[in-house]
Amino acid sequence: MTQPVQPLCGFLNVLKPPGMSSAHVVSVVRRLLGGAKVGHAGTLDPEASGVLPLMVGKAARLFDYMQDKEKAYVTEVAFGVATDTQDAQGVPVATGENYPDETALLSALPAFTGTMMQTPPMYSALKQDGKRLYQLARDGKEADVPARQVTVYELALRGLTVHHGALLSVRCSKGFYVRTLCHDLGAFLGCPAHMRFLLRTQSGPFTLETAHTLEALREAADRGTLPDLLLPPEAALAHLPMTNVPQGLEKAVRNGGRLPWKCFAALHDTPAAEGTPFGLWMDGALCAIAQRQQALVKVRTWLAD
């Protein structure tokens, strides 16, 4: 008897090329996987390139549990011109020739390191009154965009580039706009600036070293080995405690029944804090994400078939 095909469930680390939207990458990979459910875990601007983690199948249910607070980039800031989009695709809105040298740049970077308030750009996918900010901007409308708290863990100058540019490496929290950093750095130094280039080298646990190009994915699909490139669901959950389903509770877990906390409390690797999510393993695979609620354990996200 032919064994049933198991639904795909996991993460695919894609190296997004410049000039392609994140949604387009999702569409290409969905087609290569034969129509499987695919979504991206953190978008990249169309002209940016680099790490774009994709969630395949039930792995999409893990988005809220992923440790995506930390991201890393390499960017080139171009001094002399500021644009309405804060990147090289926008319309110039200011020019200047007070180009900073290496000493000026090095002295300015500490002001953009640490926890700070940053105002997102108008040309962004954030929503206000149900509309994307970039849609409002294209319609010639203004919006009061509130600043929000972000963190830059590391910011370093990697060298000067041609045409009054500088290469920076950035390690930051989620929600941080690198093109806004480039714009604000120019304003701080008295020379209009914009972002010329952006490469994301890390998104949570996914890094540039393990990312696959679309060409490599197409070749794997032609060979029938594309599913082998998927990382298991737990690849994005290394920060969560994990434990096996206690003996005798397997049926209750599958049926969504009551799970007494006292059966878990004896397991040394289960978190004791109420409300802390943790992974449940059964039959050698991650089957669910659960949380303690007083005397019971509630399954919050089911992953098994």
Tokens 């206000």 belong to 128
Using H for helix, E for strand and C for coil, what is the string for the chain?
CCCCCCCCEEEEEEEECCCCCHHHHHHHHHHHCCCCCEEECCCCCCCCEEEEEEEEEHHHHHHHHCCCCEEEEEEEEEECEEECCCECCCCEEEECCCCCCHHHHHHHHHHHCEEEEECCCCCCCCEECCEEHHHHHHCCCCCCCCCEEEEEEEEEEEEEECCCEEEEEEEEECCCCHHHHHHHHHHHHCCCEEEEEEEEEEECCEEHHHCECHHHHHHHHHHCCHHHHCECHHHHCCCCCEEECCCCCHHHHHCCCCEEHHHHHCCCCCCCCCCCCEEEEECCEEEEEEEEECCEEEEEEECCC
Backbone torsions φ then ψ of 70, nearest 5 degrees: -115, 130
Q: What is the mean pLDDT of residues 177-198?
A: 96
Q: What is the mean pLDDT of residues 163-174?
A: 96
- Positive/negative CA dihedral, 247, 250, 251, 257: positive
Tokens 């319609």 belong to 139
Pick 304 or 96 by higher pLDDT: 96
Tokens 């690198």 belong to 178
Q: How far apart are CA 237 and CA 272, in angstroms?
A: 18
- Between helix 214-223 and helix 22-32 the angle, nearest 10°, is 10
Contact between 288 and 299 (Cβ < 8 Å): yes
pLDDT given at position 140: 60
Q: What is the mean pLDDT of residues 287-293?
A: 89
pLDDT given at position 5: 52
Does 136 have pLDDT greater than 80?
Answer: no
pLDDT given at position 129: 58
Pick 80 or 305 by higher pLDDT: 80
pLDDT given at position 78: 98
Q: What is the mean pLDDT of residues 69-91?
A: 93
Pick 250 or 99 by higher pLDDT: 99
- Confidence (pTM): 0.87
- Give the number of C-alpha atoms closer than 13 A to the C-alpha of residue 226, restricted to the C-beta side: 24
Q: How far apart are CA 77 and CA 256, in angstroms?
A: 53
Q: By mean pLDDT, which of 26-30, 174-178, 258-262 is the weakest?
A: 258-262
Tokens 């110039």 belong to 92
List the catalytic residues. 45
Q: How far apart are CA 131 and CA 128, in angstroms?
A: 5
Tokens of 180: 């806004």
Does 131 have pLDDT greater than 80?
Answer: no
